[in-house]
Amino acid sequence: MKITKLTTYRLPPRWMLLKIETDEGVVGWGEPVIEGRARTVETAVQEFAPFLIGQDPARINDLWQVMYRGSFYRGGAILMSAIAGIDQALWDIKGKLLGVPVYELLGGLVRDRMKTYSWVGGDRPADVIADIRRLRAGGFDTFKMNGTEEFGIIDSAAAVDSAVARIAEIRAAFGNEIEFGIDFHGRVAAPMAKVLLRALEPYRPLFVEEPVLAEQAEHYPRLAESTSIPLAAGERMYSRFEFKRVFEQGGIAIVQPDLSHAGGITECVKIAAMAEAYDVALAPHCPLGPVALAACLAVDFVSHNAVLQEQSMGIHYNKGGELLDYVLNKDDFHIEGGYISPLPKPGLGIVIDEARVIEASRNAPDWRNPLWRHADGSVAEW
Ligand SMILES: O=C(O)C(=O)C[C@@H](O)[C@H](O)CO
Ligand SMILES: [Mg+2]
C-alpha cells in the first residue's frame, strides 16, 4: 500500500482536519492544528507531503522518525502538531486495514470506560455555578475552569480574593459532590502562583493546571512543595524530550500532552509510559475536534495511569462549530455519567462526515486568541 494524497481542511471553530489517501482506497483522518496557527501547521503538513507520498503508511514508526529526525531543526508547536495529525491518520489507516480499533493495535483495553470532564465559565470565569448545574443534570461531576482573568506578575490582595471567592462559592454550592480543576492558563507568574495556590488550598481543587507557563517549568518542584494541590501541565510541551525534564525534576502530578500538538499517538503513548514510571497521572489535553479526541481515547484506553480526558463539547471556544458536527454517527462518542466508552469501529473509531467537512472548509475563519493587556497597557498572558 502507498500514500497517494494529503488534503487539509481548515474548519470552524478553529480546527483543521487532514485526510490521507492510499492507492488501495483506505483513507485515514488526523487533526494537525495549533489553535490560532492553523495555516502555519497546514504549510508544515504540506511540506511533509512530498516525502510521504509513495511511502507505505504501515511503517508508522519509521515515518515518524523521518519526520522528526529528518529535519535538522525539530520539535516545537508547529512541527510536532503537523507530525501529530499525520501520525493520527496513519494509525487510522492501519486500524481500518486490519479491521480493529487503534487501542487493539496498542495491546488492548486497560479499562472499560474513560472519565471525562467539562469546561465551565469561559475566558473570564464569572458565573460558573449555572454551568455546573446544567452539566451535572447531564451526568458530569467533574469540571474545569479558568482561575483568573488578567493577573500581574505581582498582584493585589483584591485580585487574589476575587479569584478565591469564586472557588469558595462553588464549594459552598456543591460541597464535595463535584470535583474541579482550575486552569491558571499560564496567566499567573511564579511570584503569585505560590500565593494563589496557598489561598486556594482550603477548597481542595482536583488540580491546578499550568500553574506557571511551560517555559517556567523549573518552578514546578518548588510550587509543588508549597501546596498539597496536585499540579498539572503539558498542553504546551511537544515531545518526550520536553516531558523528560519535568519527570526528572518532579512537581507535576498530572501530565496533559495534547494528541494534536505532541507528535500524535506514537509519541503520546510513550509519554504516557514515561509518566507511569514516575507515578504521574495522564490527562490528555483536548479542547479540539473529534479526531483529536478519538486519538486521545486510543491512548487513554491503553494507559494504566490515564485518569481524566478533556473534551470540547460546549467549550467556550467552539463558536461556529461543535465536536459532533463533523462525524456521521453522533453516538460515536457515547458519554454516560461523565464517562466515554471505547470507540469500537476500526481505526480511530469515528466516521468523518466528509461532505460537511468540505462545505465548512470553504470559508473557515482564521481564529486568533484574544490579545489581553494589563491596566498599564502592557501585554497580559491570555
Ligand atoms: O483546554 C485547556 O486546558 C486550555 O488551556 C485551552 C487552551 O489550550 C486553548 O485551546 C488555547 O487556544
Ligand atoms: Mg489549559
What is d(CA 326, CA 158) in angstroms, rounded to the nearest whole number?
A: 44
The C-alpha cell 500565593 sits at 195
User: What confidence category does residue 86 fall into, taking pLDDT thresholds of 50, 70 and 90?
Assistant: very high
Q: What are phi and psi of 299, to 5 degrees?
A: -80, -40
Q: Is the pLDDT at 315 greater than 80, yes or no? A: yes
Contact 231, 224 (CB under 8 A): yes
Q: Based on C-alpha coordinates, what's the Rg of the chain?
A: 20
Please state which of the four CATH numbers 3.40.50.970, 2.40.30.10, 3.40.50.150, 3.20.20.120 is assigned to the domain occupying 104-344: 3.20.20.120
With a Cβ cut-off of 6 Å, ligand 1 is lined by 35, 183, 185, 235, 285, 287, 310, 317, 369
Q: Is the pLDDT at 189 greater than 80, yes or no? A: yes
Which residue has better confidence, 259 or 315? 259
What torsion do the CA atoms of 191, 255, 162, 122 make, to the nearest 10 degrees?
Answer: 130
CA atoms within 13 A on the CB side of 222: 11
Q: Which ligand is located closest to the Cα atom of residue 35? A: 1
pTM above 0.95, yes or no: yes
Ligand 1 pocket check: which of 31, 40, 185, 207 to mutate, most ligand atoms within 8 Å of Cβ?
185
322 is in an annotated binding site: no
* Shortest-distance Cα residue to atom 12 of ligand 1: 35
Q: Is 285 a catalytic residue?
A: yes
User: What confidence category does residue 70 fall into, taking pLDDT thresholds of 50, 70 and 90?
Assistant: very high
Q: Is 185 a catalytic residue?
A: yes
Question: What is the per-residue pLDDT across 87-113, written as a single tens digit (0 to 9) for each?
Answer: 999 999 999 999 999 999 999 999 999
- Please report the atom of ligand 1 found closest to the CA of residue 209: 3
Q: Is the pLDDT at 140 greater than 90, yes or no? A: yes
Contact 285, 292 (CB under 8 A): no
Q: Report the share of the chain in percent with pLDDT over 90.
A: 96
What torsion do the CA atoms of 335, 358, 87, 316 make, to the nearest 10 degrees?
Answer: -50
User: What confidence category does residue 55 fall into, taking pLDDT thresholds of 50, 70 and 90?
Assistant: very high
* Shortest-distance Cα residue to atom 1 of ligand 1: 287
CA 4 to ligand 1 center in whole angstroms: 34
CA 288 to ligand 1 center in whole angstroms: 9
* Cis previous bond, 13, omega within 30: yes
Report ipTM for this prediction: 0.98
Question: What is the per-residue pLDDT across 171-180, written as a single tens digit (0 to 9) for each?
Answer: 999 999 999 9
- Please report the atom of ligand 1 found closest to the CA of residue 14: 12
pLDDT at 358: 98
Sketch the domain layout of the chain as residue ranges.
3-101, 104-344
Q: Do domains 3-101 and 104-344 have the same CATH topology?
A: no
- Please report the atom of ligand 1 found closest to the CA of residue 144: 3
235 is in an annotated binding site: yes
Please state which of the four CATH numbers 3.90.870.40, 3.40.190.10, 3.10.180.10, 3.30.390.10 is assigned to the domain occupying 3-101: 3.30.390.10
56 is in an annotated binding site: no
Q: Is the pLDDT at 139 greater than 80, yes or no? A: yes
Catalytic residue selected from 261, 285, 334, 374 = 285
Question: What is the per-residue pLDDT across 8-54, written as a single tens digit (0 to 9) for each?
Answer: 999 999 999 999 999 999 999 999 999 999 999 999 999 999 999 99
